[in-house]
Structure 1
Amino acid sequence: MKITIWPAGILAIIFFISTSCKQNAPHEDAAEPAFVAHPVAVPKQDVMTLEIGKAAPDFRLPDVNGKFVSLSDFDEAKVLVIIFHCNHCPTAQAYEDRMIDFTNEYKEKGVDLVAIMPNSAMGLLPEECGYTDLNDSFEEMKIRYEYKKYNFPYLYDGDNQSIAIAYGPVATPHAFVFDKERKLQYSGRIDGVEKPGGANAEDLRAAVDALLAGKPVETPVNKVFGCTTKWAWKSEYGKKVEEKWNAQPSTISRLDEDGIMALVKNPTEKLRLINIWATWCAPCVMEYPELVALQRWYGHRNFEFVSLSADNPEHQDRALAFLEKTHSPVQNFIYAGTDKYKLIEAVDPKWDGALPYTLLVEPGGKVVYSSQGPVDLLELKRAIVEHPLMGRYY
């Protein structure tokens, strides 16, 4: 049998060509990296609202699925409506259904609507989330999009706010209406009545109808009422609010069975969230920071958070140390007795005794939400904000 011996130089060339082909071959299965939000510091600057007649600033922003959407994607639209919108704002939430209804009606007329979330996580405080179950993060935009079944793109501009700076929304919601040439023809409110059911996007409809009819918009500029845009450079104010919260002391008091029953009876005019926990309960200590944070979200409204430790009373110092470490400047109690079965009956006869146990109680003692084991935080927030004592709107 004849064996061919290749010179080393030729072998090296063959190896190089083979390797290069593999490296340069298209990877059919390679997917574009998933978008990951990364809010950054933005220098303080004066932001001016786009003037009537100006061209729409170009954009390339991710939607809730991480797919990038550009201004050119709407080239076929006769009229383009851009509304700066967000999750947390009660006014923005009040207009969600009107935006959905508008899209349903005007899509077939050649009108596209796109919502852009302009807020930076650095500029939004927990205390500003009292009317919502969600913050304005990219991740929670997805939740709102699915929960409300938006029929329009919802784009994220929370990283560097470059598009919000270019358009200059005064508040959320703020509508910008562009003609076929993408020149701004209307800027302002959607309509003049915030409360759902009181209006039907009359100002927005009038502007769009005029453009579709080839007529000038009768009132091209209207004022906007809503929540201020949360610019990243407002983080200094957030630090002051954080310092004020952290300066409040965490204390703990003992409570017997009668006191516990009175606590659950809730003689106040507020929703009362009660969490029974213990320092030795791992799920308790893991979820506790998220629960006490709800006091910051909703505490300025008809809501209060109260904690009740199931530790033995001789371990009160241990419980207090945890509360101080976690920072819990709310009403904190520890069961004064040692008979845990009396504790169970005093709290809720329906409770099987497993920790943690959380219940949301109306004035008068009616339990409207309870969870044995760690709570579903989103479910709990919705139970709070959608209760008649609270609500998503003013």
Structure 2
Amino acid sequence: MPRTLPSLLTALLLSAATAFAADGSTPQPQALGSPLPDFELPGIAPDGSVQTYTPADFASAKLLCIIFTCNHCPTAQRYEERIKQLTTDYAPQGVAVVAINPNNAEAVRLDEMAWTDVGDSFADMQIRHAHKEFNFPYLDDGETQAISRVFGPVATPHVFIYDQDRKLAFQGRIDDAELPQYIKHHDTRDALDALLAGHAPEVQTTRVFGCSVKWAEKAEGYNKLWAQRLKEEPVTLEHATAADFVALRENQDSGKIRVINVWATWCGPCVSEFPDLVDLNVTFRNRDFELVTIAAEYPKMEAKALKFLQQQHASMQNYIFGDTDKYANIEAIDPEWSGALPHTLVIDEKGEVIFRHTGPIDFIELRRLLLPALEAITPWGGLDGN
């Protein structure tokens, strides 16, 4: 059905919010009692279809619970199942639960992606929605962030509950602990229960904890910063023998998840995916992670291989075959490898090969393998959740 344009009042509010943010200020949460802002946003429906949503789509709901959340934030991820359960528990009581991603995808730093399989773009939201089987609409405001600047979320997740008259009755946290064993206060549930019973919540506003909203104005500075940092990082290439490769594969002393990628300058798929390997290294290197590349080239190709690595700003550990016996090196790297390129191994901290693949990498699949392996070494929230 055709959609109406936002009201003149809302358009003016959006314009003011955008101008306000342009001076570097951080938008503040709406005041209690404020009316629900008008919006028209693309989103993923519970059935996975892509739709455009406005407040009219939730007009029949007794209460509207809008939760600003995202893909990349580990705190937000800890709440995904709780948001699904909230939707299941309160939909029969007339509560519409809606999630909105406020983040500009370009403003998310690579090292902020160390806890996620995907970023915060709309395409990534679709992947996350399907993978986690969200039962609520998931809307995207990351491209313009105009609506988010009116609501004023400060972190993900951040809840805004609107009453029957669509006035803001609660804003704050879902509960008081990302790790379920520490929860003492179920603030969002308490607020919903009170409003459904016909009275104001006892607690109407709380602090929120999580990743800060990634406003678009951060993106340019971030991209320049990382480009400069990568240019300044040294890129090296060392010769290695079959014995060295055996030690790399056995991974006895690093205490890290080790990814080994074997490539060559003449291998088209290797060259095509190499920028993603560099991003993978930057993303995970502050965790218990190590990326090693091996150029399957004769030693005389060192200069060419090093030049390529320098062009890629490949500041991970890089090796090249130190002798001409390629088959001995292939056997040493992975006895189960046919020799075709590219070839990738993932080895856990105990020396066990937990992934091997010949051919181009599915980086989402690789991330989904790495995340639980890294979590097993150092759990999020501290050792054993403490």
Q: TM-score, normalised by structure 1?
A: 0.87
2:203 corresponding residue in structure 1: 219
Instruction: Work out whether residues 252 and 334 of structure 1, in 8 Å CA contact, stay in contact via their aligned partners in 2.
Output: yes
User: Pick from 99, 103, 106: which aligns with 2:83?
Assistant: 99
Alignment partners' CA distance in 2, 1:197 and 1:143: 29
2:298 paired with 1:312: yes
* Structure 1 position 45, deviation (Å): 4.4
Alignment partners' CA distance in 2, 1:296 and 1:196: 31
Alignment partners' CA distance in 2, 1:275 and 1:391: 26
2:281 paired with 1:295: yes
2:74 is aligned with what amino acid? Answer: P
User: Pick from 233, 236, 248: which aligns with 1:251?
Assistant: 236
The 5 A counterparts of 1:355-394 are 355-387=341-373, 388-389=376-377
Alignment partners' CA distance in 1, 2:333 and 2:280: 21
The structure-2 alpha-carbon separation of the partners of 1:44 and 1:358, relative to structure 1 and needing over 3 Å to count, comes to farther
- Structure number with larger C-alpha Rg: 1
* Structure 1 position 197, deviation (Å): 5.2
1:43 corresponding residue in structure 2: 22
1:52 is aligned with what amino acid? Answer: L
**Runs of 4+ with deviation above 2 angstroms:** 40-46, 196-201, 389-394
Number of aligned positions between the proteins: 355
The 5 A counterparts of 1:164-175 are 164-175=148-159
* Structure 1 position 250, deviation (Å): 1.3
Alignment partners' CA distance in 1, 2:88 and 2:22: 39
* Structure 1 position 241, deviation (Å): 3.1
Alignment partners' CA distance in 2, 1:82 and 1:296: 33
Instruction: Work out whether residues 131 and 391 of structure 1, in 8 Å CA contact, stay in contact via their aligned partners in 2.
Output: no
2:124 is aligned with what amino acid? Answer: E
The structure-2 alpha-carbon separation of the partners of 1:193 and 1:369, relative to structure 1 and needing over 3 Å to count, comes to same
Instruction: Work out whether residues 292 and 305 of structure 1, in 8 Å CA contact, stay in contact via their aligned partners in 2.
Output: no
1:282-301 deviation per Cα after TM superposition (whole angstroms, max 9, x unaligned) = 11111111112111111111
Alignment partners' CA distance in 2, 1:151 and 1:268: 41
2:262 paired with 1:282: no
Alignment partners' CA distance in 1, 2:345 and 2:181: 33
Q: Which runs of 5+ in 2 are unaligned?
A: 1-17
The structure-2 alpha-carbon separation of the partners of 1:204 and 1:225, relative to structure 1 and needing over 3 Å to count, comes to same
* Structure 1 position 182, deviation (Å): 0.6
The structure-2 alpha-carbon separation of the partners of 1:328 and 1:213, relative to structure 1 and needing over 3 Å to count, comes to same
1:43 is aligned with what amino acid? Answer: A
Instruction: Work out whether residues 91 and 173 of structure 1, in 8 Å CA contact, stay in contact via their aligned partners in 2.
Output: yes
1:317-346 deviation per Cα after TM superposition (whole angstroms, max 9, x unaligned) = 111111111120111000111111111110
* Structure 1 position 99, deviation (Å): 0.3
1:133 corresponding residue in structure 2: 117
Secondary structure of 1:218's aligned partner: coil
The structure-2 alpha-carbon separation of the partners of 1:393 and 1:284, relative to structure 1 and needing over 3 Å to count, comes to farther
Q: TM-score, normalised by structure 2?
A: 0.89
Secondary structure of 2:205's aligned partner: coil
| More displaced stretch, 233-242 vs 329-338 | 233-242
2:14 corresponding residue in structure 1: none
Instruction: Work out whether residues 105 and 142 of structure 2, in 8 Å CA contact, stay in contact via their aligned partners in 1.
Output: yes
1:89 corresponding residue in structure 2: 73
Alignment partners' CA distance in 1, 2:175 and 2:91: 19
1:307 is aligned with what amino acid? Answer: T
1:334 corresponding residue in structure 2: 320
Alignment partners' CA distance in 1, 2:152 and 2:24: 11
Identity score, percent: 43
Alignment partners' CA distance in 2, 1:117 and 1:318: 44
1:364 is aligned with what amino acid? Answer: K
Secondary structure of 1:186's aligned partner: strand
Give the RMSD, CA atoms, in angstroms: 1.8
Instruction: Work out whether residues 92 and 172 of structure 1, in 8 Å CA contact, stay in contact via their aligned partners in 2.
Output: yes
* Structure 1 position 201, deviation (Å): 7.6
2:107 paired with 1:123: yes
Q: Which runs of 5+ in 1 are unaligned?
A: 1-39
1:222-245 deviation per Cα after TM superposition (whole angstroms, max 9, x unaligned) = 100000000011124402233112
* Structure 1 position 352, deviation (Å): 1.2
Instruction: Work out whether residues 94 and 393 of structure 1, in 8 Å CA contact, stay in contact via their aligned partners in 2.
Output: no
| More displaced stretch, 292-301 vs 109-118 | 292-301
Secondary structure of 1:300's aligned partner: coil
Alignment partners' CA distance in 2, 1:119 and 1:390: 27
The 5 A counterparts of 1:349-360 are 349-360=335-346
